[in-house]
Amino acid sequence: MQKCGAVEVLQAMDAGEKVTLILVKRDHNSSKITNLVSRAESLGIRVIEGSQNDLWRMSRDNSQGTPEVLALVGRDPLANFEQVLKSGGLIWLLDGAKYPVNIGFCIRTAEVSGADAVIVNGELNNEERSAAKRASMKAHRFLPVLWQDAASSIELAKSSGFRIIALEDVGESNPWDVDLTGNVILIVGGEREGISSEVLQMTDEIIRIPMTGFVPSFNLQAPLSAVAIEAQRQRSGN
């Protein structure tokens, strides 16, 4: 998903890989990076700038120092829902989430774990959406984050062959007993009311996250993180 450093990025472009975004260090003084950026722009690849701290934090390998360029391969952050469905993969749906910080943490976890998109079905104004993006540590720039209705999204996904799996207390399956490969939408519910009954009725399977403490629920991003890691394990073939 990530190409790190000028050599890897150039090799990816030479090989015709689907490079969808390049993150380059702001105010760099490298002619090699300038030429790389010019080539990327000629190929229609979007280029954005970041600080050295941005590249240090996002780089998968800092053993040779902070790279001046990173590239995203295979996932288009600007894709609309129809394009996401056509490409296939794993989509997270946050049904009724209300707190921007929680939503931001979920977006970041989804991106880090290799999800292909996040859908947020919640009544958030522009200021709250901006707060969620800030809380994602800019992860929203690297995968599609779609603010849209849950039920209609599920209907379209089903017609495209996606399986619909919810994470809810009424489930009977453990995460590691459910097939999380292929084209799938994984749903977590909002902080107050959980997944709506309408959405639950549209699911193919319901996962229950094991809980053994006194308090009978995790915070929103905890079950998402647990299942995201299990999905990543299954989808990587481990």
Q: What is the pLDDT of residues 141-158, one digit of tens each?
A: 999 999 999 999 999 999
Residues 169 and 209 reside in one and the same domain: yes
With a pLDDT cut of 70, the percent of the chain lying above it is 99
Residues 101 and 32 reside in one and the same domain: no
- Return all residues near 121 (Cβ < 8 A) that are at least 6 apart: 93, 94, 95, 96, 97, 148, 149, 150, 153
CATH number assigned to the domain comprising residue 230: 3.40.1280.10
Residues 100 and 136 reside in one and the same domain: yes
Residues 57 and 92 reside in one and the same domain: no
Distance set, CA 163 to CA 26, 137, 204, 226 (Å):
42, 29, 6, 19
DSSP 190: B
Residues 109 and 31 reside in one and the same domain: no
Angle at 62 between CA 59 and CA 68, to 5 degrees: 65
Residues 134 and 184 reside in one and the same domain: yes
State which of 25, 52, 73 marks the end of a domain. Answer: 73
State which of 54, 73, 92 marks the end of a domain. Answer: 73
Residues 109 and 206 reside in one and the same domain: yes
Residues 169 and 194 reside in one and the same domain: yes
With a pLDDT cut of 90, the percent of the chain lying above it is 76
Distance set, CA 57 to CA 43, 51, 86, 217, 220 (Å):
27, 10, 31, 31, 24
CATH number assigned to the domain comprising residue 22: 3.30.1330.30
Which range marks the domain in which residue 66 is found? 2-73
- Mean pLDDT along residues 165-176: 89
Residues 122 and 28 reside in one and the same domain: no
Tens digits of residue pLDDT in 102-132: 999 999 999 999 999 999 998 899 999 999 9
